[in-house]
Structure 1
Amino acid sequence: MRRNTSIALLSVGHACVDVYQGAVAALLPFFVAERHYSYAAASGVVLAAGLLSSLAQPVFGALTDRHPVPWLLPVSTVLGGLGVALSGISGSYPLTLLCVAMSGLGIAAYHPESARVARMAGRGSHGSMGWFSLGGNAGFAVAPLLVVLVTTAGGLRCTPLLILPALAGSALTLPVLRALERTPSAGSGAQPAAGRDDWPSFVRLSLAVVCRSVAFVGLSTFVAFQVRHATHGGTASGTAALLVLYLGGAVGTVVGSRLVRRWDRVTVVSTSYLITVAAVAGVVFVPGPAVYLFVALTSIGLYVPFSLQVTLAQDYLPTRVGTAGGITLGLMVSVGSLTSPVIGIVADATSLRTALAPLILMPALSWLLFRSLPEPAVCKALWDDHRDPAARPTGSRSSPA
């Protein structure tokens, strides 16, 4: 199987998994409407989805460094979808939390191994990781539309239909895994140049990613409610805000790929975080339809660093690629859920605007942590690979990231 075909399949499979991360936030307005959850209770659903995922994902990353487990890709995809599919029919609040926690576990199992397989299938290409990350962004973007499509007709009792993307994503991984089994030597090009693990830089990068995750997960949890307040709209206005937030992620990934052709990754990421400070402030304080513009700018700013941070982490830990990918992806997509209940409690006690205001500081902290990080020396030997046309899917004129 050709490299770009494998990456394309992995990218679509990644989209089918990350649909369920976006679906949890997209389901919250329906939980509030049908089950009358408070802000704190709604944020507890996000916590349940992210807590187990945050704890388990580094463990799965360490596991894949010692013993590659490619069969985790189809199995974890189905598990991630099954939890969300059952969440709407579980009835009680504890069962709902259990279902979304099961989904989070599946997502945690998927990302470290999928990042390792994507690096192997792309033979170390930076562009290949960009396409893989873009697939996840697309999954986030599609989630609100799928949730609205499924719930409009019959409400939360129709959520079992959301299992369909998981079944499709699971099937798409199988030909890639078979191809890699037949050509084990294909993985040789996926390994970074020999080098020492730079743990201090990796820890600083991880802390920056934590701050980024707090901002993004906090906004994805409450942006639908915030935009409804800002525009005096209904549920549709909140769903539209989520769609803008997630579509902006796909745009941000592509923008990052263009910028990294001119500047190094550390410069691109740190500058993006600095600009995002003003964008988050706009989401919190700007009234009226203009808030949608700031939602889009915030999403783009938070997603420009997405794939760049994954490859930086893997280059900082060249002997622990699975661990680096697992921790970085896990922190980016789930650790922010740990603070969501705090935001919900403050929002219930004061106002949603007051509760969201501290999120403005998060990208500023990411900038402070990131701005003096080194560009890994290992990347110098591979730096031109992301410009390699062979890394681009057929028919594409340029390669993201």
Structure 2
Amino acid sequence: MRLWAAAHAVDDLYQGLIPATVPYFVLDRHYSYLAASGLTLAATLGSSLPQPFIGVAVDRFRLGGLAGIGVAVAGLGAGLSGLAGPYFLVWLLILISGAGVAMFHPAAGKSAREAAGESASAMSMFAAGGSVGFFLAPVLATPALSALGVGATALFIPPALLAGYALLRSHARHAAAARAKTEAEAASAAPPVAVTPAGPDQWRPFAALTGIEVVRSIAFFGVNTFIELYWLRSLHASRALAGTALACFLVGGVAGTLIGGRIADRIGTIRTVRLGSLLGLPALVALRLCPGAVAPLIFAVLAGLVLNIPFAVLVKLGQDYLPARPGTAAGVTLGLGVSVGGLASPILGAVAESHGPRGVFTVLCAVPIAATLLAFLLTAPEKYKVAGSATE
């Protein structure tokens, strides 16, 4: 799980790297705001739309090595984008980087679940790796790009290549061990043990779960995108304090992901999803209404925490709903559901144009209500109904 968590951090570093580099493309290349938003759209399209289809391919053809290839492609695309000249080439490289992210998540989610078993805490370690990557992206990119310009994106290529190599090597070792086991069973004439899914695929609750992931993603991307502007324009804070607010939100997200897994192991996955959805409303309302520029930092941490409590739990629960398609489930919950929130950014941008960042946070306060309603449509996976475990 440590390897998968570290690889997830490296992979999602490149998801966070693109928004962090956009301002420098505007400054160094004199891109318009429309052109800059096109780069964000390229990353979102590349990472969100292909993931369900890649998940199907991972389940059907057992493409375990795809995770290593994906993280390498994500890093190469993002790293080379700052060195490219024409806008179209930059846009294409960022699209390719997003496609690499899409390649990583289904295969990694499936393999991480196999390593985690039924432990939500272990799965939360893997999911938290992604939150760490999002947090590290602006922390590492801002000083590098400020000092060296947008071409400094090339400095972020080596981690992707190292992570890709480590994953491909690990996959090769596991594949060799599996072949040796098969050959030993054949030599001893022992009948192979059939591994069957633990229950039927349940598409209706999986659809509700996907809806929860999408609205959670809209809230996360909305806060992540506009929190600095909210501190600058609405709370009239300094740039340093605005950056601190973003860091507080992202650190809260890492903590929430880890805490959510531990809560789920104690009270069950569905109750944990409902708890996180219910707490999202007061956390965002408090963030929106708290006066001053320093006191709201507390609620920035709490908002990040409660929005991410269901994160790892949704990934695990999605695979429980589709036990025969763990790669597909990971591609939707871990991939599509997470990144599709970026597609709502233009809508929130239009709200900001009319009502400012404060208006965006007012709209975001309504998002947890939809998540809560969808959470009460979730039902226990069939295998737990039979076994009688504490899913509820």
Identify the TM-score tier after normalising by the shorter chain: 0.7 to 0.9
Aligned match for 2:202, one of 185, 198, 223: 198
Shift of 1:22: 1.7
Counterpart amino acid of residue 335 in structure 1: V
Aligned match for 1:259, one of 242, 247, 263: 263
Q: In the TM superposition, what are the counterparts of 1:62-73 in structure 2 within 5 Å? A: 62-73=56-67
| Separation in 2, partners of 1:251, 1:378 | 30
| Separation in 2, partners of 1:115, 1:156 | 32
| Separation in 1, partners of 2:331, 2:18 | 21
Shift of 1:65: 0.9
Partner residue in 2 for 1:280:
284
Partner residue in 2 for 1:391:
none
Q: In the TM superposition, what are the counterparts of 1:126-205 in structure 2 within 5 Å? A: 126-184=120-178, 193-205=197-209
Total equivalences in the alignment: 380
Query: Unpaired segments of 5 or more residues in structure 1?
Result: 1-6, 387-401
* Structure 1 residue 338 corresponds to structure 2 residue 332: no
Partner residue in 2 for 1:389:
none
Alignment TM-score, normalising by the size of structure 1: 0.85
* Helix, strand or coil at the partner of 1:318: coil
Question: Contact between 2:278 and 2:372, CA under 8 Å: does it hold in 1?
Answer: yes
Question: Contact between 2:120 and 2:264, CA under 8 Å: does it hold in 1?
Answer: no
| Separation in 2, partners of 1:196, 1:125 | 20
Question: Contact between 1:211 and 1:363, CA under 8 Å: does it hold in 2?
Answer: yes
The 3 A distance-change label for structure 1 pair 123 and 347 is closer
Partner residue in 1 for 2:79:
85
Shift of 1:381: 8.0
Aligned match for 2:55, one of 50, 61, 65: 61
| Separation in 1, partners of 2:238, 2:22 | 14
* Structure 1 residue 240 corresponds to structure 2 residue 244: yes
| Separation in 1, partners of 2:115, 2:153 | 34
* Structure 1 residue 375 corresponds to structure 2 residue 372: no
Shift of 1:269: 1.2
Q: Which shifted more, 88-97 or 176-185?
A: 88-97
Greater RCO, CA 8 A, separation 6+? 1
Partner residue in 2 for 1:17:
11
Alignment TM-score, normalising by the size of structure 2: 0.87
Q: Which shifted more, 139-148 or 353-362?
A: 353-362
| Separation in 1, partners of 2:369, 2:284 | 10
* Structure 1 residue 268 corresponds to structure 2 residue 272: yes
Percent identity for Structure 1 against Structure 2 = 37
Partner residue in 2 for 1:226:
230
| Separation in 1, partners of 2:296, 2:30 | 26
Question: Contact between 2:121 and 2:258, CA under 8 Å: does it hold in 1?
Answer: no
Question: Contact between 2:257 and 2:310, CA under 8 Å: does it hold in 1?
Answer: yes
| Separation in 1, partners of 2:268, 2:369 | 20
Query: Unpaired segments of 5 or more residues in structure 2?
Result: 183-192
| Separation in 2, partners of 1:45, 1:234 | 27
The 3 A distance-change label for structure 1 pair 47 and 219 is farther
Partner residue in 2 for 1:212:
216
Q: Alignment RMSD, CA only?
A: 3.0
| Separation in 1, partners of 2:288, 2:319 | 34
Instruction: State the structure with more CA Rg.
Output: 2
The 3 A distance-change label for structure 1 pair 364 and 261 is same
Question: Contact between 1:70 and 1:117, CA under 8 Å: does it hold in 2?
Answer: yes
